Structure 1
Amino acid sequence: DSEPETANLVAYVAGSCGNDGVCTGGILPDLRAGPLHPVNVSGDGGAAAPTTYPGMFLDIHSAADLVLWPWGDTPSAAPNGAALRAFGKRLAWFNQYTPEQSDTLYPTDGATDDNFYGSLGVPAFTFELDQSFFEPCTPLLNKTIPDNLMALRYAARSLHAPYLLPGGPDVTSLSASPDLVAAGTPVALHARLDDSRFNQTNGTEPVHNVASAAAYMDGLPWEGALAVAALTADDGAFNSPAENASASISTTGLASGTHLLFVQGTDASAQAGSPNAVFVEVAQPSEIATLAGTISALADGAPLAATLRVTNPISGETRTATSSAVDGGYLRPMHAGTVDIHVDAPDGYLAEDISGVDLSAGATQTRDIVLFSACNILDDDVEPGNSGWTAQTPWTRVNGATGNSSYVWATPNYGDNLSASLSRTLDLSGYSGSTLSFDDRCDTEATYDFGRVEISVNGGGNWTTLYQCDGRTTWQHNRIALPASTDNLADLRLRFRLTSDINTNRPGGWAIDNIVVESGGAQCRADQLDRIFADGFE
């Protein structure tokens, strides 16, 4: 800890450490009993920390796709080695990194996880992010960040006793309905409990059946809260490592306001796991208004499953509802007031916004909503032939490419040093909110040859990449929202561009099928209204 940064970190976490190895004054305590630094084959460190130790230390840096725990300077297990391993394997389930004791990577001396575990007995871990320094933005945003945020959330839910709670079942999902409820009306609580979510690389952790689950209102058992309900297994019995469970929670006597419902599970070994929580807001019946109605298609009246977001712009209250695919019906309790409604339409339809809807306390406001169909500016399944594309070599129409029985655009047996495009122009005058969808198989040399979807809004002067792929031999469907700069644009340039390096190509190449550009906007809506009135609608 000779560097100032490291010395400051040690002082903050552990405080001042005397010659006897005892550290005091930091944010994390040393709760161990017994000799701190005995001379034995276990290496540095002392007695095991109590299993009830609260808190943890986590060092996050790159790069190796690893979850590490002490020790790093000896293959011997730390005094709390079994509990560290169990917690590490839980964390590694989320980020899909390899879990291992630090010395397995290579011997290290003075690493932060060893330092703080050895000094305090605190559960200490290192995340080695990804496989490279300065990771590209796409995998960073799409995988590294979300996967590790899930791991961090699990860690946060386990902080009360990280040497114990990872040994029990995790509450992996939790919902309460309705989220705004009149006092006296029960809340339906649904939970998923799972004891099996360990990354079982480098040895396996024991997995037990879920045995029970309990709900707590506005507190946890170690905070003195009493269970308000025992959950029951949805299939009739707790007899497997993963279970769906539910309970009806009484709200009688609860004060108006936001309440926090906790659920904690216990497995067949009698070990309780990490809890999870969900908010429920309680109001008096005289304070609640109801928005109800149906969502259907303008073209034929068919019911639609869609998500509504209802917002009170004054109070900031925002709640969601989902309409039924069977009859299009929806129901959304809200506090009384004036609200705005946004409908996130299903694929093939346009989103809808309605402002200034008045909701009165104790009453139901009915609002039926119809959705316009999205307009297909481009709909090319490649079957009829070349429908307006400019194809540079080696782009060609191929019948029966691997994994596809129809015609596709493809670049079979592409060469070296390529930058070859399949391109066309589109007129989006009067149209907005456009999306591009297509199916593709990107069988290129991984990390060297790429397929890119690009657009230009200035006649080809500059190009923006919307999508990039490489090294994938399976087909997938892609749906990409086009930027606002394409709205009402009379000359949008779209291209699928294949690039290759100086050698080592793949015979399959990049293949594209079912290219569709959907749009909304004033022109799209006007076209549909014109058709309805032309058909005799009044």
Structure 2
Amino acid sequence: MRPPSLRSPRFLILLLLIALTILPPLFHTRAAQADQGPTDRSETEVEKENESEWRVVRAYFDDPALVATVADLAPWEVNYEAGYLVVETTAADRSRLTALGFRLEVDEALTALLNQPSWPPGLESIPGYPCYRTVEETFAAAQTLTTSYPNLASWNDIGDSWEKQVGLGGYDLRVLKLTNAAVSGPKPKLFAMSAVHAREYTTAELMTRFAEYLVSNYGIDADATWLLDHHEIHLLLQANPDGRKKAEQGILWRKNTNQNYCSATSNSRGADLNRNFPFQWGCCGGSSGNQCSDTYRGAAAASEPETAAIVAYVRSQFPDQRPDDLTSPAPADATGIFLDIHSYSELVLWPWGFTNQPAPNGNQLQTLGRKFAYFNGYEPQQSVSLYPTDGTTTSFAYGELGVAAFTFELGTAFFQACSTFENTILPDNLAALIYAAKSARTPYLTPAGPDTLNVALSTNSVPAGTAVALTATINDTRYNNQNGTEPTQLITAAEYYLDTPPWNGGAPLPMSASDGSFNSKIEAVTATVNSSALAPGRHILFVRGQDASGSWGPFSAIFLTITGGTPPTATAVPPSPTAVPPSPTVAPPTATPPSGGTLFQDTFESDQGWWVNPDGTDDATTGQWARAIPEAVNYNGPKQLTAASGSFDLVTGPLAGANAGSHDIDNGVTTVRSPAVTLPSSGNITLSFSYYFAHASNASSADFFRARLISNSGSTLLFEQLGAGTDRDASWSSVSVSLNAFAGQTIQIQFEAADNGSGSLVEAGVDDLLVTP
């Protein structure tokens, strides 16, 4: 949970808006912008226009067809139901709108935002928006993922920004690739890009959080685990880093920063990268030929280095699955999903954007779009329904390669309040992104099938031979029908796979309707899992359903742990940089005693087989134990520390995240258990370890850190520290406990940490564990 703070985003934004009303701008953040068509002025004339003439207006219309006539102005928002659009304008633009029949109303608050003074460059965060990471902070977060989890994440240079290409500093364009490198392919791919329009703050942060969620939940959440084992996810977090640096100064910057367009110092310079892609570039009035326009398409198709890099990378990742015409569909079993994440307007869009003609796979795109919109609550529609666009990312990905391509328009503002992002945009769209990852294998087939929900086992951990009840809900109705109604059908079947999914040759095992017959669009289903042939360790069950159209929906998964005659153990999760991530079935290891009389020693620099959530009963939703390289976290003092020695330790959520509360323990208990250690029958046996337990002042005695000993005779509490309603900083301390009472037994050491109260900032770490005779 986010720690308590007097500096809430809403409060900071309110202060900013008050300041804007009483302080004169130091300078305006926009130079003049030209429009296209018969009213175009020369770029020199545009550049000389008095900057104080910029206004954001609501332009009301009676005829929706008028919107297409001003597509070159790139309206911020179009509300067809209420009959208005929101757009930034010059005096000439307003004259043009009035002449076309629009009724104008100046939006004073948005105009103040447009013309606010810029913030100084070089800040480590965006003033007033602490939830959004800068370009440098985004890159650092991605690098941390690859350093901590190199078997799951790689950080790849795919090209240069314009400024870097011409020697003015700039940035690499980098893609964060997520997949379990230990599991061979080929694997279906999800490619998602964000922040191609620089001023759209929410987009890059959403994608970065998505990456952190998947990696930090590998081996903990069954869906995150199988997605990384069997799929690839490619994330271009900052598609326009030069422009983003301008936007981080509070400028409503949209384009790249190419100084060859408009003028070298104008804030209207650059090309709109989302009008610069090669498919149907400049074809249909959905972009501008005027260099100062927000929708300037560039000198030629893919003329910008950012565009060229993205085009080359996407072509290298996806097969060409359709001709480059406007009528030939991709095959039904075509693979891959392409997402371009934008803000704002609360929309899910799919091709085409340059014609009212539906795309050849229009029905399938509509089905998947309505499914995405079910999760985020946005309106699903063909792109051209907003206003005409050409030379766009999604037209390229679908038009040239046949990849199912979509745009998400997040939220309700370019500079979205952090409270809205954290409470609404992030959770709603994270669910949509997970669905995209699940559907990437067959995006034109899978979304037509039902969702599998509420997958559960009667018990998550059993001895081999115990019958286990598997239950789930199969639901065919989960579509957003704001813009037309998606057909739905009765459920006709459900099945599960044990450890091996169908694409690897796994055998289906049938499930039954709980009420005895499949006769509804929402069905509870059940099966009895025979565990007699299962090896000790963790197994994964994949569950899916089928509807009367014959469509199978996406899989949802759950872990089942089989215990053996000795205390169960398994390979640590998430995987360490030096360890290969385990296969779903893991046999229990036993610790190998080190030389020199030490029974067991672990500095956590190598993977010795600790097991997260060994009994399958943990309920913490974030901050689960992991062996990793921890990032320091500070909130009123240190709350998460780097390792006591070396680089690695056991830590409750190793990442720092966007704020101190991003990855701490939340909503329950997290547990980690050592491999089995056999103690001698005599001697002075001692356990020692280093630890810290830290929390903010809103903690309580329900929060705790504990060390337990697990043996065949049960569980024994060795050490406990409870939380309190005071701020407790992290500091490495040492504990030493006698184990003489357990001489001659085979034991395991278990660490537990919990945020069990109303929710607080809670962190814990363990390092340098030693068992000596």
TM bracket (short chain): 0.5 to 0.7
**Mapped contact 1:183–1:285 kept (Cα < 8 A):** no
The yes-or-no answer on 1:176 pairing with 2:457 is yes
The yes-or-no answer on 1:275 pairing with 2:555 is yes
Judging changes above 3 Å, is the alpha-carbon distance between structure 1 residues 12 and 352 closer, same or farther for their aligned structure 2 residues?
Answer: closer
Q: CA deviation at 1:222?
A: 3.0
Letter in 2 for 1:364: G
Name 2:320's counterpart in structure 1: 30
Q: Output the CA distance in 1 between the equivalents of 2:482 and 2:564.
A: 52
Name 1:6's counterpart in structure 2: 307
Judging changes above 3 Å, is the alpha-carbon distance between structure 1 residues 322 and 130 closer, same or farther for their aligned structure 2 residues?
Answer: closer
Q: Output the CA distance in 1 between the equivalents of 2:707 and 2:360.
A: 63
Q: CA deviation at 1:115?
A: 1.3
The yes-or-no answer on 1:365 pairing with 2:715 is yes
Match of 1:57 among 330, 334, 338: 338
Structure number with greater CO (CA < 8 Å, separation at least 6) is 2
**Mapped contact 1:433–1:481 kept (Cα < 8 A):** no
- Structure 1 residues 350-390: Cα deviation after superposition (integer angstroms, max 9, x where no partner): 41536332211x433388xxxx9x9xxxxxxxxxxxxxxxx
Q: Output the CA distance in 1 between the equivalents of 2:312 and 2:384.
A: 25
Q: CA deviation at 1:333?
A: 12
Q: CA deviation at 1:125?
A: 0.5
**Mapped contact 1:193–1:243 kept (Cα < 8 A):** yes
Name 1:243's counterpart in structure 2: 523
Q: Output the CA distance in 2 between the equivalents of 1:46 and 1:12.
A: 25
Name 2:611's counterpart in structure 1: 317
Name 2:159's counterpart in structure 1: none
Letter in 1 for 2:313: Y
Letter in 1 for 2:347: L
**Mapped contact 1:59–1:125 kept (Cα < 8 A):** yes
The yes-or-no answer on 1:256 pairing with 2:536 is yes
Q: Output the CA distance in 1 between the equivalents of 2:759 and 2:532.
A: 46
- Structure 1 residues 217-249: Cα deviation after superposition (integer angstroms, max 9, x where no partner): 12222321101x322222332222122222221
In structure 2, the gaps of 5 or more residues are 1-301, 570-601, 620-670, 678-686, 694-698, 729-756, 763-773
Q: Output the CA distance in 2 between the equivalents of 1:288 and 1:316.
A: 10
Q: Output the CA distance in 2 between the equivalents of 1:11 and 1:269.
A: 38
Match of 2:707 among 356, 359, 368: 356
**Mapped contact 1:65–1:97 kept (Cα < 8 A):** yes
Q: Output the CA distance in 1 between the equivalents of 2:435 and 2:541.
A: 17
Please give the root-mean-square deviation of Cα atoms over the aligned residues, in Å. Answer: 3.7
Q: CA deviation at 1:122?
A: 0.9
**Structure 2 matches for 1:374-453, cutoff 5 A?**
431-432=725-726
- Structure 1 residues 272-319: Cα deviation after superposition (integer angstroms, max 9, x where no partner): 111111222333232349xxxxxxxxxxxxxxxxxxxxxx99854333
Letter in 1 for 2:483: N
Match of 1:76 among 335, 357, 377: 357
Judging changes above 3 Å, is the alpha-carbon distance between structure 1 residues 265 and 61 closer, same or farther for their aligned structure 2 residues?
Answer: same
| 3-state secondary structure, aligned to 1:287 | coil
Name 2:503's counterpart in structure 1: 222
- Structure 1 residues 245-279: Cα deviation after superposition (integer angstroms, max 9, x where no partner): 22221222223333221011001222111111122
Match of 1:142 among 423, 426, 435: 423
Q: CA deviation at 1:160?
A: 1.2
The yes-or-no answer on 1:152 pairing with 2:433 is yes
Q: Output the CA distance in 2 between the equivalents of 1:209 and 1:363.
A: 51
Name 2:388's counterpart in structure 1: 107
| 3-state secondary structure, aligned to 1:357 | strand
Q: CA deviation at 1:199?
A: 0.4
Letter in 1 for 2:320: D
Q: Output the CA distance in 2 between the equivalents of 1:248 and 1:483.
A: 40
Q: Output the CA distance in 2 between the equivalents of 1:356 and 1:144.
A: 38
Q: Output the CA distance in 2 between the equivalents of 1:286 and 1:355.
A: 23
Name 2:57's counterpart in structure 1: none
Q: Output the CA distance in 1 between the equivalents of 2:446 and 2:376.
A: 19
Letter in 2 for 1:214: E
Q: Percent identity?
A: 41
Q: Output the CA distance in 2 between the equivalents of 1:322 and 1:4.
A: 48
Judging changes above 3 Å, is the alpha-carbon distance between structure 1 residues 27 and 321 closer, same or farther for their aligned structure 2 residues?
Answer: closer
| 3-state secondary structure, aligned to 2:456 | strand
Match of 1:207 among 485, 488, 494: 488
Q: Output the CA distance in 2 between the equivalents of 1:168 and 1:181.
A: 32
Judging changes above 3 Å, is the alpha-carbon distance between structure 1 residues 268 and 363 closer, same or farther for their aligned structure 2 residues?
Answer: farther
Name 2:545's counterpart in structure 1: 265
**Mapped contact 2:336–2:443 kept (Cα < 8 A):** yes
Name 1:164's counterpart in structure 2: 445
Letter in 2 for 1:267: D
| 3-state secondary structure, aligned to 1:144 | helix
Name 1:475's counterpart in structure 2: none
Q: Output the CA distance in 2 between the equivalents of 1:356 and 1:218.
A: 32
Judging changes above 3 Å, is the alpha-carbon distance between structure 1 residues 12 and 321 closer, same or farther for their aligned structure 2 residues?
Answer: closer
Q: CA deviation at 1:53?
A: 0.7
Q: Output the CA distance in 2 between the equivalents of 1:119 and 1:260.
A: 37
Q: Output the CA distance in 1 between the equivalents of 2:329 and 2:453.
A: 30
TM-score by length of 1: 0.55
Q: CA deviation at 1:433?
A: 7.6
TM-score by length of 2: 0.39
Q: Please state which structure has a larger fraction of its residues in helix.
A: 2
Q: Please state which structure has a larger fraction of its residues in strand.
A: 1
Name 1:518's counterpart in structure 2: none
| 3-state secondary structure, aligned to 2:310 | helix
Q: CA deviation at 1:185?
A: 2.2
Q: CA deviation at 1:79?
A: 0.6
**Structure 2 matches for 1:292-303, cutoff 5 A?**
none
Q: Output the CA distance in 2 between the equivalents of 1:46 and 1:333.
A: 56
Q: Output the CA distance in 1 between the equivalents of 2:457 and 2:442.
A: 26
- Structure 1 residues 21-80: Cα deviation after superposition (integer angstroms, max 9, x where no partner): xxxxx2111123xx642xxxxxxx341000101111111111111100001011111110
**Mapped contact 1:288–1:333 kept (Cα < 8 A):** no
Judging changes above 3 Å, is the alpha-carbon distance between structure 1 residues 3 and 366 closer, same or farther for their aligned structure 2 residues?
Answer: same
Q: Output the CA distance in 2 between the equivalents of 1:133 and 1:230.
A: 48
Judging changes above 3 Å, is the alpha-carbon distance between structure 1 residues 209 and 315 closer, same or farther for their aligned structure 2 residues?
Answer: same
Judging changes above 3 Å, is the alpha-carbon distance between structure 1 residues 316 and 138 closer, same or farther for their aligned structure 2 residues?
Answer: farther
Judging changes above 3 Å, is the alpha-carbon distance between structure 1 residues 91 and 357 closer, same or farther for their aligned structure 2 residues?
Answer: same
Q: Output the CA distance in 2 between the equivalents of 1:163 and 1:36.
A: 18
| 3-state secondary structure, aligned to 1:87 | helix
Judging changes above 3 Å, is the alpha-carbon distance between structure 1 residues 163 and 357 closer, same or farther for their aligned structure 2 residues?
Answer: same
- Structure 1 residues 188-225: Cα deviation after superposition (integer angstroms, max 9, x where no partner): 32212211000011101111121111010122223211
Letter in 2 for 1:172: L
Judging changes above 3 Å, is the alpha-carbon distance between structure 1 residues 186 and 12 closer, same or farther for their aligned structure 2 residues?
Answer: same
| 3-state secondary structure, aligned to 1:231 | strand
Letter in 2 for 1:27: Q
Letter in 1 for 2:612: T
Letter in 2 for 1:234: S
Judging changes above 3 Å, is the alpha-carbon distance between structure 1 residues 431 and 62 closer, same or farther for their aligned structure 2 residues?
Answer: closer
